[in-house]
């Protein structure tokens, strides 16, 4: 079966750095997405990785290792507005997105 694992919840301090991990086992791989979802709102796109390595986009970076079935999202200089759920999703061999349950990130002052 297809499976995506993420921690359910993480807590971090404002101004710090946090790393949210995602491991996956899917039928085929055509890329990995990270989305942000604030409570009661729609998911919004953060990043896309298809090749191994680190993609940096401002305060957010995303890393992929296809051989290990592993990705992480790195958030730097945390702000209170970063409190949200972060969703990992893999594009499988049928070009359908398989979604993890999401990681709820709580930022404390």
Partner 1 sequence: NAGVTQTPKFRVLKTGQSMTLLCAQDMNHEYMYWYRQDPGMGLRLIHYSVGEGTTAKGEVPDGYNVSRLKKQNFLLGLESAAPSQTSVYFCASSPGLAGDYNEQFFGPGTRLTVL
Contact set with partner 1 (CB under 8 A): 4, 8, 30-31, 33, 41-45, 48, 50, 87, 89, 91, 95-102
CA angle, 88 then 50 then 92, to 5°: 60
Which C-beta is closer to partner 1: that of 8 or that of 67? 8
Shortest CB 29 distance to partner 1, Å? 12
Shortest CB 30 distance to partner 1, Å? 7
Joined together, the tokens standing for residue 17 give: 């750095």
Joined together, the tokens standing for residue 22 give: 């995602």
The answer to whether 16 touches 8, Cβ cutoff 8 Å, is no
Which C-beta is closer to partner 1: that of 15 or that of 28? 28
Which is it for the CA torsion 60, 61, 66, 68, positive or negative? negative
Which C-beta is closer to partner 1: that of 48 or that of 60? 48
């Amino acid at each position: 079966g297809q499976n995506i694992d993420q921690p359910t919840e993480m807590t971090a301090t404002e101004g710090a750095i946090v790393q949210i991990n995602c491991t996956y086992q899917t039928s085929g791989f055509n890329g990995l997405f990270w989305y942000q979802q604030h409570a009661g709102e729609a998911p919004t796109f953060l990043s896309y990785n298809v090749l191994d390595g680190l993609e940096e986009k401002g305060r957010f970076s995303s890393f992929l290792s296809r051989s290990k079935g592993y990705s992480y999202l790195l958030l730097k200089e945390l702000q209170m507005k970063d409190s949200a759920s972060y969703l990992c999703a893999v594009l499988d061999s049928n070009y359908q997105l398989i979604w993890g349950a999401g990681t709820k990130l709580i930022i404390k002052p």
